[in-house]
Structure 1
Amino acid sequence: MSNSRRIFIKQIGLVTAGAALLPYLGCAATAQTKKFGIQLYSLKDEFPKGVENVIAQIAKAGYSYVEGYGFSDKNGYFGLSPEKFKDLLDQYNLTSPSSHFDFGGWEKTQNDTILKSYIASAKILKQDYVTIPYINPEIFKSIESSKMFAQKVNRASKIVKDAGLKLAYHNHDIEFFDLNGTNGYDILLQETDPNLVDFEMDLYWMFRANNDPLKYFKDYAGRFTMWHVKDMRKSDKTLNTEVGNGLIDFKPIFEQAKLAGLKYPLVEQENFEINPFESITKSAAVMNKISI
């Protein structure tokens, strides 16, 4: 059994000693020494109450950048045009390296007008990445359809590159159906151009699918330029908790950040036991200790 595999099994089965060494340090944000961000989907229930308040609370908690989601040509981001949303981020000294864009329609139709609208928005926000957050799970139920999708991703990546940006792919657990000893995630990594396609590894979903992030870092070094740092609740592995409060020991994972190629670590939490703003502040305090 490899050392990384031992670490993985130890993490997923119990709270490790390393995790116990990651205290919250209280609710107040500590002095900012590291740069890390947050996926805005974490605060999806707070945006209807006031977009600016959400952005202000993110900045107050100690985050340096945000990852967008939910963009549409009609509604922009949370009812703000990309220009107005960029102005709001500037006001709170936040940047945005990436957004999640809905690729479902593009995958079915190959209508590049959809893709070009995403690129236009990303350029306004001065983002580095156009990111695929989720796709039809049926794609990953055969080797053939997984390879066909990989070729579509390659085609999109060339269009994105020509615009001065880069394409990234974010995983859940749908990519890990067993396909005679391989899976859709491995096929994407093998079949997409490493110079054009990066990966945003969602660490929580890797563990949910019983996969070892460290092995992927070793096998596909340099391709995991973004991470979703999302912890797994001790009482229920299907739920999240604050970074450092759950089952995942992030310390050995961050120790391999250079091997992975990490540029942007992003906190994400999809459900909460406490006030969301208190929660993201606790996560930020831990990220300030363990992040690159």
Structure 2
Amino acid sequence: MASTAGTAQAAESGRHHDPRCRRRIPRGGIGMHLYTMRSVLETAFEGTLEQLADIGYATVGVSGRFGRDATQFRRVLDDVGLKAVLEHVGYATVAGTGLQKAIEDVHTLGGEWVVVPSLPTQMHTPAGYREAAAAMNRAGRVARESGLGPVLFHNHDADHKVVEGEVLYDILLNETDPEYVGFELDVYWAAKGGADPRRLFVEEGPRFPALHVKDMAPNGDFADVGSGVLDFAEMFETAHRGGVRQWLVEHDSPKDPIATARNSYRHLSRLRY
């Protein structure tokens, strides 16, 4: 947590102008996880996606399809010039008989990854995480054989807890095959849980093709990217070692989703690290 803390103002005034900061996020890598936009997508689906494209977003992470099947959803994305890169699919589906349909849907959407968004609460034990690791290895093998990337796991703060002497997230890192299982690291929840994304990128290597870029307000609440206390310039210095290819903005409860989308895109598009 300490290594990611700092003010957005400091990041902008310091690292942003530091001539040593050569990297920038590729424009094709700045995306929006659509959970952020769910309230406006419910009432203005096509218009909201068009606004995201107009702001400059290139990609989206899908989390709910708002009454549309994968083909209908893809058609709108194509019309407005956005590309889906992944879809969140419940653990029971990925571990069960619904996996093949989920893979087909991600293919139809034009994406690369099936993502497990969380594990059921009753599985939050070392034994439960070992069971999940085995299930995701099996699912990831099927996904790879079907032409997709590895199955990804999306974290929350509870995944970084120590239970019965073991860090739960470490069980997934250690007991999944990198060829079949990767991670969509939510940097807010990682920091909230006491994990350090910089360390994960360096120590675990290219297992993090996608991020949820979510900022933290001083009181620990959610914040628009660039307005909180997480130092993204410092955090992303090692992102290339983690294999990051997609930086997906997320805010769990934005007051004005379009304003959040604009503010967050502005910060990421200007960021140097």
Same fold, judged at TM 0.5 (above): yes
1:44 match: secondary structure: helix
In the alignment, is the contact (CA less than 8 A) between 1:10 and 1:16 conserved in 2? no
Q: Are 1:284 and 2:262 an aligned pair?
A: no
Q: What code does the residue aligned with 2:269 have?
A: N
Secondary structure, aligned partner of 2:110: coil
1:17 Cα deviation from its structure 2 partner = 5.7
SS in structure 1 opposite 2:194?
A: coil
Alignment of 1:1-292 (within 5 A): 8-9=1-2, 11-12=4-5, 14-15=6-7, 18-21=10-13, 34-35=27-28, 36-70=30-64, 77-107=65-95, 110=96, 112=97, 114-141=98-125, 143-166=126-149, 167-234=151-218, 236-237=219-220, 239-273=221-255, 275-290=256-271
Change (3 A) 1:272 1:19: farther
**Number of residues paired by the alignment?**
262
Q: 1:193 to 1:271 in 2, by over 3 A?
A: same
1:5 — aligned with what?
A: none
Q: Where does residue 28 of structure 1 map in the other structure?
A: none
The answer to whether the Cα contact below 8 Å between 1:254 and 1:291 also exists between their aligned partners in 2 is: no
RMSD: 2.1
1:43 and 1:16 mapped to 2: Cα distance? 23
**What amino acid does structure 2 have at the position aligned with 1:94?**
L
Could you tell me how far apart the structure 2 residues matched to 1:254 and 1:20 are?
14
Name the CA distance, whole Å, in 1 between partners of 2:175 and 2:196.
Answer: 20
Q: Distance in 2 between matches of 1:163 and 1:147?
A: 24
Identity %: 28
* Distance 1:33-1:117 versus aligned 2 partners, 3 A rule: closer
Verify the 8 A CA contact 1:226 1:263 in the aligned structure 2.
yes
Mapped to 1, the partners of 2:67 and 2:104 lie a distance apart of: 17
**d(CA) in 2 for partners of 1:209, 1:33:** 28
5+ residue gaps in structure 2?
A: 15-24
Alpha-carbon spacing, 1:147–1:212, altered in 2? closer, same or farther (3 Å): same
SS at match of 1:169: strand
2: distance between equivalents of 1:149 and 1:33?
A: 33
* Structure 2 CA distance for aligned equivalents of residues 200 and 66 of structure 1: 13
Q: Any unmatched runs of 5+ in structure 1?
A: 1-7, 23-31, 71-76
State the TM-score, normalizing by the size of structure 2. 0.89
- What corresponds to 2:17 in structure 1? none
**Secondary structure in 2 aligned to 1:272?**
coil
TM-score, normalised relative to structure 1 = 0.84
For 1:115 and 1:189, the matched residues in 2 are separated by 22
Q: For 1:84 and 1:291, how far apart are their aligned partners in 2?
A: 37
- Which residue pairs with 2:22 in the alignment? none
For the residues of structure 1 that align with 2:272 and 2:49, how far apart are their CA atoms?
Answer: 21
Shift of 1:54: 1.1
Q: Does the 8 Å contact 1:119/1:130 carry over to 2?
A: yes
> Does the 8 Å CA contact 2:129/2:168 hold for their aligned counterparts?
yes
Structure 2: distance between partners of 1:197 and 1:130: 10
The 2-side partners of 1:16 and 1:277 are apart by 20
Deviation at 1:162, TM superposition (A): 1.5
